[in-house]
Structure 1
Amino acid sequence: MNRKYKFACALTVLTLALTGCASKGPKVEEPKPNPLPKLVNPQTLSSVFSTSVASTSEADPLRLRLDSNNGVVYVINPKGEVEAYQGKQRLWQKNVSKQGLSSGVEAAEGLVVVGNQKGQLFALDQATGEQKWTAQLSGAILAPSLIHAGRVITVANDGTVYAHELDTGKQAWTYSLPNVQFSLRGQAAPVALDARNVLIASANAYIYAIDALSGAPRLQRRMAVTEGRSDIQRLVDIDGEPTVAGQFLVTTSYQGQVTVMDMVSQQVIWSEDASSTQRPEVSGNGVFVAQNDGKITAYEITTGHKLWENDQLLNRKLSNPVMLGQNLVVGDLDGVLHLIDPSTGNIIGRAKTSGDVRTLRVIDNQLFVATRKGAMSIWQNR
């Protein structure tokens, strides 16, 4: 067990963060989740697809996710399988890894890419599920890869960024992020910045822009700071994916800040204290953040002015927020999907799945949901 993984155990006990393993130390009583607020004439969602896969450990912050490409939905099973569905019809099912799978699915350019905790990266043919190539990385793969500019970009949990050629799987380049003595167990997925460059978020609160073709660094910028005295208090990981919205780049960090940078000037334009391990959402002039304590906060994107804050879902271990149509949606530890008016912060509806909601995505105006208990589902507005 490496040092990073060991520290994740201690962090669970001392700070109740979502980390990598359970502790045998004294039991720490967690704050009780707020009860669900009563709603009058609540809106809801319609389920259009659902399936069940194996659950993951409650102590491991894996964020398995579904993906969709060309009308086909790809589902990952932690036991090592990948499935493809068109509508409710299963097109194929493949047992990919006897060691299980630990990253979400990335599907694009004819490939389906998944990874496991042994650092094995698998590329499958979208049409048949047959394995096209595999690669060995230097650390566990806990976040989905990104297919971009003819490359498969993957971040290993030891901080090494890998690029493999899309067609052959040949390693094109690697980039090593700075070594961090302590960090949360988890990793933000790579994000496309533009047609050629990708963004990588790191455990030292920096963002790196890297040329996907050559591996040359294009930008390095610190996005958060901490004034903690102990190693735990100084943790300031960026575990949620950065959000690119026009000229703006938005990040959140654990025990740090929500920060907005203008990519034209490459200058931070504002930063406000907020602790979050989730990807922020941007819609119109609003930046929406689900904080670790359960508060949901909206900021004006150009000024950082706080538009509203909702504290009705305290201690409900919220997922990342996403926009579905005209509503903001966030999931919680009981599998409840909360519909929120993005202009006021008022909760206006809900739907229910099963288990702690780990990831939300919106693809083609449909909500893709993955939970710790293995409930994989797709929803749409009624």
Structure 2
Amino acid sequence: MERKYKIPFALALLSAALIGCSSNKVKEVKVKPNPLPKLAQATSLVPVFSQSVSATSAEDPLRLRLDTDNGTIFIVNPKGGVAAYKGKQRLWETKVSKHELSSGVEAADGLVIVGNKKGQLFALDQATGAQTWTAQLSGAIISPALIQTGRVIVVANDGTVFAFDEATGQQAWTYKLANAQFSLRGQAAPISIDPRTIAVATSNGYIYAIDSLTGVPRMQQRVAVSEGRSDIQRLIDIDGDPVLAGQLLVTTSYQGQVTATDLASRRVVWSEDASSLTRPEVFDNKVFVAETTGKLTAYDLATGQQLWKNEQLLNRDLSNPVVLGQNLVVGDLDGVLHLIDPNTGTIVGRSKTSGEVRFLRVIDNQLYVSTRKGALSIWQNR
């Protein structure tokens, strides 16, 4: 049995900082986050929904992603529960696991899909919350599943991709990814390339394109390169979900690069050094990346040319960036949602939620926010 070592991100950063030190005394280096910049005239967002669930630990990379389908909001509680809301009215709530739920929600085709740390996958009926089927995977489930073309596709923490029949839960196929022996504890979610193809990222800097019906691999492409000498320095995990922009697939990696890959020619169009654990955002022919240092950078989608960079939020543990209306939005360790002009990188406003912002997504021009403290909320422009 292959043994794989998962390293918490905070430990990896500390270890990297200590490499080469001759002293036997380990001193924790505390880096102060940049203070919030003063804004002359700030815009803000309006909250339209909020719900609190259990918090997760600081070392845990869990993204408790909310989802919506047919006007219903579905949320997950790490303590094992799932709930459905119509507006602010709760339609149902059910306990599905005695073990901690560790994936975000995927809701489509009348199903709600969640997973736990023991590798159990649960499919619930959207209308009632009743359990329709369960499946056992080979490792913890720490990223959301993908429902596509009659399949529920999910990646276990040991690098195995599973596909199940969405109606019965019967296993359709598995595919074992080639992962690094050492990696950070995180996992990108599978994304759809077309109705018959998904893309899955790995901890060793590769992207795989796989037939969603048969599990047959269609492409294997390296998109991140490591130049480190130690195991820690060579970590190049792709933990942020890839983003499809036309025929380009945009990826980010830890201690690696932001890369645009042409799926038609199967070649890397451009690649720029950047360290990020979050999903990039692509909008208006621009690629936006939040780096592990807190630097925000915009690149030209076609060429990779740097358009602007913002270093006002250094060391603020930024979430993935998203575009909401006319603004770029990114969250930080204090629960601040920063509004940024996507053309210039200028911070133009902010709003405040509770707890370190772990994940952002935009659905129907509304911002879905999840934090480590368990604050799940939805916001819109004022």
TM superposition score normalised by structure 2: 0.96
C-alpha distance in structure 2 between counterparts of 1:15 and 1:144, whole Å: 29
Q: Aligned ranges for residues 309-328 of structure 1 at < 5 Å?
A: 309-328=309-328
Matched, 1:109 2:109: yes
CA distance in 1, matches of 2:90, 2:109: 20
Letter in 1 for 2:174: T
SS of structure 2 residue aligned to 1:11: helix
Classify 1:124/1:48 alpha carbon distance in 2 versus 1 (closer, same or farther; 3 Å). same
Q: How far is the alpha carbon of 1:28 from its aligned partner?
A: 1.3
What is the match of residue 352 of structure 1? 352
Q: Which amino acid aligns with 2:88?
A: K
Deviations 1:76-117 (A, max 9, x none): 000000000000000000001011200000000000000000
CA drift of 1:264 comes to: 2.0
1:284 aligns with 2:292: no
**Kept in 2: contact 1:8–1:183 (CA 8 A):** no
What SS does the aligned partner of 1:173 have? strand
> Is 1:120 matched with 2:82?
no
1:102 match: secondary structure: coil
State yes or no: 1:32 paired with 2:32. yes
Unaligned runs of 5+ in 1: 17-24
* Shift, 1:344, TM fit: 0.2
Structure 1 residue 128 displacement after superposition: 0.2
CA distance in 2, matches of 1:286, 1:197: 25
Match of 2:87 in 1: 87
User: How far does residue 6 in structure 1 lie from its aligned partner after superposition?
Assistant: 5.9
Q: Percent identity?
A: 66
Q: Compute the displacement of 1:13 (Å).
A: 3.5
Gaps of 5+ in 2: 18-24
Instruction: Specify the SS of the correspondent of 2:236.
Output: coil
Contact 1:322/1:361 (8 A) holds in 2:
yes
The structure-2 alpha-carbon separation of the partners of 1:278 and 1:9, relative to structure 1 and needing over 3 Å to count, comes to: closer
Correspondence 1:55 to 2:55: yes
Contact 1:125 1:131 in 2 (8 A): yes
Corresponding residue for residue 175 of structure 1: 175
Give distance in 1, aligned partners of 2:245 and 2:337: 24
Structure 2 Cα separation of the partners of residues 195 and 9 of structure 1: 37
Deviation at 1:227, TM superposition (A): 0.7
Contact residue 7 and residue 184 of structure 2 kept, 8 A: no
Counterpart Cα distance in 2 of 1:71 and 1:186: 30
Counterparts of 2:244 and 2:160, CA distance in 1:
23
Detail structure 1 runs of 4+ shifted over 2 Å in the superposition: 5-13
Instruction: State the Cα deviation string for residues 208-241 of structure 1 (Å, max 9, x = none).
Output: 0000000000110000101101111011010000
Q: Which amino acid letter does the alignment assign opposite residue 260 of structure 1? A: A
Distance 2:159 2:185 in 1: 12
Q: Report the Cα distance in structure 1 between the residues aligned to 2:329 and 2:203, rounded to whole angstroms.
A: 27
Look up the match of 2:226: 226
Other structure's SS at 1:208 match: strand
> Contact 2:4/2:180 (CA < 8 Å) preserved in 1?
no
Give yes or no for contact 2:99–2:116 (8 Å, CA) kept in 1. yes
Output one character per residue of 1:297-345: Cα deviation in whole Å (capped at 9) or x when no partner: 0000111110000000000000000000111000000000000000000
SS at match of 1:5: strand
Partner of 2:5: 4
**What is the rounded CA distance, in whole Å, between the counterparts of 2:10 and 2:313 in structure 1?**
26
1:180 to partner: Cα distance: 1.8
Structure 1 residue 8: Cα displacement: 6.4
Letter in 1 for 2:52: S
d(CA) in 2 for partners of 1:27, 1:367: 40
Return the offset for 1:15.
3.6
Residues 337 and 352, structure 1, Cα contact 8 Å, conserved in 2: yes
**C-alpha separation between the residues in 1 aligned to 2:149 and 2:16?**
40
TM-score, normalization by structure 1: 0.96
User: What is the aligned partner in structure 2 of residue 19 from structure 1?
Assistant: none
